Amino acid sequence: MKFPEHFLWGAASAAYQVEGAYNTDGKGPSIWDEFSKIPGKTKHNTNGQIAVDFYHHYKEDIVLMAEMGLKAYRFSVSWSRILPNGEGEVNQEGLDFYEKVIDELQKHQIEPILTLYHWDLPEVLQTKYGGWESRHTIDAFVEYCRILFDKFGTKVKYWITFNEQNVFTSLGYRWASHPPNVSDSKRMFQANHIVNLANAKAIQLFHQVVPQGKIGPSFGYGEVYPLTSSPADVLAAVDANQFNNDWWLDVYCRGEYLERIMRLLKQMHIAPDVTIEDKKVLQTGKPDFLGINYYHGGTVKAPDTEKVITGKNFDKIDPYLMAGDAQSNTPESQLFQSVENPYLDKTNWGWEIDPIGFRIALRQVYEKYRLPLIITENGLGAFDKLEGGQVDDQYRIDYLNDHLVQVGKAISDGVPVFGFCAWSFTDLLSWINGYDKRYGFVYIDRDDYSPKSLLRIKKKSFNWYQRIIETNGGKL
């Protein structure tokens, strides 16, 4: 398989899922610190207070990244570590921490990819202003971004604005399975609009302050297939792709909402309130590239009255299938009905395994928006077993191998993909699934009940990825 020269072979993480040190060196609480205290919201009531303690282990972890030959590391900054109150006074120790991480990465020739927002809003902004339902949060976000652009603009080339806006707004405001624990479509689409404005304004500022850098959002993309060739099913799949994907990507890349979906939301009285000024803002902040997080897509048929996936059981919540309940009054239930795909196997958590869907996704996104792409997440969550000091995760190797082959094919098809960040480098906290849903190349000795030794142990996949990087994909 042929990959471009200087391809960014990387891995990704997020602050809340790895750092721990939740109240150390002046860090303020985030909405996840608070949400995880609500009994039953997360598996075994797990939280990120200690996580895998990257805060104190970053040097050791970066040495392992260097040993692996990693070319890029995507991490997120915890807003409330920089601004404990979400705005106002800067916590110098927070800035110092990320500076040390960036310097350490660069010492080992690893390109830092900095995510500005990976879901951990400062709690104060939620309680005081209503979080992403308030325009005040746009200003606070832009000020937070300005601090990081000023501080790291000369060191960091690649920046991600929002991680999976589609997922955090849907899970947080529609399905009440993420903070702020709301279940209200109108509020979700309004919060989503506020985030769109924050995204555009941050990008606009970035282009002024860091003209030599590149910035874009990371989107959770999954292609939706029709169950059959019946035109009604094909139309349902077209609608599902518009509802699940283009609704967001059109705003990012074209600066406007998809008319067909907006009309539907208006009919249902759940459309966001968009002012003339807002429309101008959305036109001004277009990304330089798109980050794509790919786990899987979905399959749909024309809607009927049968029950569809509701995502009520937190174990099985699937952020990429936002299908509603056919009996309820959701916009999806008028457009499509999610069904199982008879051709695909599933992970232990019921996520479809669909490598070819990855190639399709990359082709579709590129053809529509003509922007360079970077894979900012892809990986397999599995129950790994530590036996005799080793983890034989051949299933993860197979998964990543199959997906990377399809990325390689998409590149041969002409899609400009400039990097691949596996999710994740070390094991980490899965937001609501605890510590048993492991994704890393490096096993961390901890479980849902205790941080144990936090020892880092290379899995079989570590050596495999090392070899892939060494040969620039030649061994795929």
Radius of gyration over alpha carbons of the chain, in Å?
21
Task: Write each residue from 2 to 41 as x if it is in contact with ligand BGP (CB under 6 A), else as -, in one continuous string.
Answer: ------------x--x------------------------
What is the smallest separation between the CB atom of 443 and ligand BGP, expressed in angstroms? 16
Amino acid at position 433, single letter? N
164 annotated active-site: yes
- Residues touching ligand BGP: how many (CB under 6 A)? 15
Among 201, 286, 359, 437, binds ligand BGP (CB under 6 A): 437
Task: Write each residue from 150 to 189 as x if it is in contact with ligand BGP (CB under 6 A), else as -, in one continuous string.
Answer: -------------xx--x----------------------
Distance CA 408, CA 410 (A): 5
Query: Would you call 414 helix, strand, or coil by DSSP?
Result: coil
Burial 59-88 (b: 16+ CB within 10 A, else e): eebbebbeebbbbbbbbbbbbbbbbbebbe
By CB under 6 A, which span of 107-115, 185-193, 358-366, 427-435 interacts with ligand BGP?
427-435
Among 319, 408, 419, 434, binds ligand BGP (CB under 6 A): 319
Q: Is 446 in the site for ligand BGP (CB under 6 A)?
A: no
Task: Write each residue from 235 to 274 as x if it is in contact with ligand BGP (CB under 6 A), else as -, in one continuous string.
Answer: ----------------------------------------
By CB under 6 A, which span of 337-345, 401-409, 429-437, 451-459 interacts with ligand BGP?
429-437
Cα distances (angstroms) measured from residue 415 to each of 2, 244, 246, 249, 411: 13, 22, 18, 17, 5
CB of 170 or CB of 299, closer to ligand BGP: 170
Would you say 171 and 147 are in contact if contact means Cβ atoms under 8 Å apart? no
The one catalytic residue among 133, 164, 332, 352: 164
What is the smallest separation between the CB atom of 118 and ligand BGP, expressed in angstroms? 6
Would you say 451 and 386 are in contact if contact means Cβ atoms under 8 Å apart? no
- Helix/strand/coil (H/E/C) assignment for every residue in 367-385: HHHCCCEEEEECCCCECCC
CB of 160 or CB of 411, closer to ligand BGP: 160
Sheet holding 224-226, edge to edge: 224-226, 298-301, 337-339
Amino acid at position 196, single letter? N
Q: Is 111 in the site for ligand BGP (CB under 6 A)?
A: no
Tokens of 468: 């892939």
CB of 50 or CB of 268, closer to ligand BGP: 50
Q: Is 43 in the site for ligand BGP (CB under 6 A)?
A: no
What is the smallest separation between the CB atom of 365 and ligand BGP, expressed in angstroms? 17
Among 46, 166, 242, 293, binds ligand BGP (CB under 6 A): 293
Q: How many CB atoms lie within 10 A of CB 412?
A: 12
**Residue 430 neighbours by CB under 8 Å, 6+ apart:** 17, 43, 381, 437, 439
Judged by CB under 6 A, the chain residues 343 through 382 that form the site for ligand BGP are 377, 381
Among 252, 366, 423, 464, binds ligand BGP (CB under 6 A): 423
Would you say 37 and 47 are in contact if contact means Cβ atoms under 8 Å apart? yes
Continuous H helices in 19-85: 31-35, 54-68, 79-82
CB of 152 or CB of 431, closer to ligand BGP: 431
Among 48, 220, 298, 357, binds ligand BGP (CB under 6 A): 220
Distance CA 262, CA 264 (A): 5
Amino acid at position 455, single letter? L
What is the smallest separation between the CB atom of 83 and ligand BGP, expressed in angstroms? 21
Judged by CB under 6 A, the chain residues 48 through 67 that form the site for ligand BGP are none
Which residue's beta carbon is nearest to the bound ligand BGP?
430
- Pairing status of strand 417-423 against strand 373-377: parallel
Catalytic residue positions, numbered: 164, 377
User: Which residues are near ligand BGP by CB under 6 A?
Assistant: 14, 17, 163-164, 167, 220, 293, 319, 377, 381, 423, 430-431, 433, 437
